[in-house]
Amino acid sequence: MRIGILGTGVVGQTIGTKLVTLGHEVKMGSRAAGNAKAAGWVKAAARGASAGTFADAASFGEIMFNCTSGMASLDALRQAGPKNLDGKVLVDVANPLDFSKGMPPTLSVCNTDSLGEQIQRELPMARVVKSLNTVSAMVMVDPAIVPGDHAIYVCGNDTAAKAQVTDLLEKSFGWKTVIDLGDISAARATEMLLALWIRLMGTIKSPKFNFVVSRAP
Ligand SMILES: NC(=O)c1ccc[n+]([C@@H]2O[C@H](COP(=O)([O-])OP(=O)(O)OC[C@H]3O[C@@H](n4cnc5c(N)ncnc54)[C@H](OP(=O)(O)O)[C@@H]3O)[C@@H](O)[C@H]2O)c1
């Protein structure tokens, strides 16, 4: 499958590497062609990796991942070109973290709205599925590094898109428990989880963890 990744950071690189290792063709997009991080990733990754602008990646991908800085995601998606994303599944991994006032970051949107919803409103023809934003990059593609049965979430307005993403999470990334939280407004909940996630990382001094949902029978 042809997959487009918007973003050259650790998340884009980690997801991209996993996908080319599985035999997919992956194009990584950035603001400008010739981005050094993307070029380094192409060099290090398996066959099937390529790079270009956000628009190049968006026109290439049959399925897309938004791995851009949350504060810049709407700009990045405008650069990707809404027409290039029409009808496509867009997995939104970004968190709207605002580091402008130092640590810990705040959320630039929360409570009554979310980045996932902003993206779906900006791209009404795209099939946005929010997922993977509640774990660190290495856990996204290798959940077994954290012992036990821990969960990842999906939410979005398009049932078939969520089913496709769930299949990829289970069969390609190895997630055993994928919880469907409902429509895209559930992105408020998974993005606001970041306040706890960041505090926990500072306390337990590792990004290799996840939350467990444990329900009485
Ligand atoms: N790090 C993690 O483990 C983790 C876990 C869960 C979720 N997330 C979320 O995943 C996303 C990616 O995180 P990351 O750490 O891999 O990368 P990042 O540093 O947050 O974002 C890098 C990407 O954002 C783009 N970008 C930055 N400013 C921009 C602007 N003004 N306009 C357009 N694009 C801009 C960069 O474009 P260029 O390539 O052109 O420089 C780059 O591709 C973030 O939203 C983050 O909150 C991260």
Residue 65 burial (CB < 10 Å; 0-12/13-18/19+)?
A: buried
Whether 140 contacts 154, CB under 8 Å: no
User: Per the domain annotation, does 70 fall within a domain?
Assistant: yes
Does residue 171 lie within any of the structural domains?
Answer: yes
Q: Look at residue 111 in the predicted model and tell me its pLDDT.
A: 98
Query: What pLDDT, in 10s, does the model give residues 31-75?
Result: 999 999 999 999 999 799 999 999 999 999 999 999 999 999 999
Is 16's C-beta closer than 6 angstroms to any atom of ligand 1? no
Going by alpha carbons, the residue nearest to atom 3 of ligand 1 is 136
Report the nearest-CA residue for atom 4 of ligand 1.
136
pLDDT digits (tens, 9 = 90+) for 84-103: 999 999 999 999 999 999 99
- Asked whether 42 lines ligand 1 (CB < 6 A), one says no
The verdict on residue 212 lying in a domain is: no
Q: Confirm whether 217 is domain-assigned.
A: no
- Does residue 189 sit within a domain? yes
Q: Is the pLDDT of residue 107 over 90?
A: yes
Tally of domains in the chain: 1
Is residue 210 in some structural domain?
no
17 lines ligand 1 (CB under 6 A): no
Find the 70 Cα to ligand 1 centroid distance in Å: 7
pLDDT for the residue numbered 75:
98
pLDDT of the residue at 120: 98
pLDDT for 46: 78
Q: Residue 30 in contact with residue 51, Cβ under 8 Å? A: yes
Q: What is the mean pLDDT of residues 107-113?
A: 98
The answer to whether position 213 is within a domain reads: no
Residue 209 lies in a domain: no
Instruction: Compute, in angstroms, the gap from residue 35 CA to the centroid of ligand 1.
Output: 14
Round the average pLDDT of the chain to a whole number and report it.
98
Across the range 172-189, mean pLDDT stands at 98
Nearest ligand 1 atom to the CA of 32 is: 40
Q: Domain containing 172: what range? A: 2-204
DSSP per residue, 69-124: -GGGHHHHHHHH-HHHHTT-EEEE----EE-TT-SSPEESS-SS--HHHHHHHH-T
- The CATH number covering residue 155 comes to 3.40.50.720
What is the share, in percent, of the chain residues with pLDDT greater than 70? 100
171 lines ligand 1 (CB under 6 A): no
Instruction: For residue range 119-142, list pLDDT tens digits in order.
Output: 999 999 999 999 999 999 999 999
pLDDT at site 115: 99
Atom of ligand 1 lying closest to residue 138 CA: 3
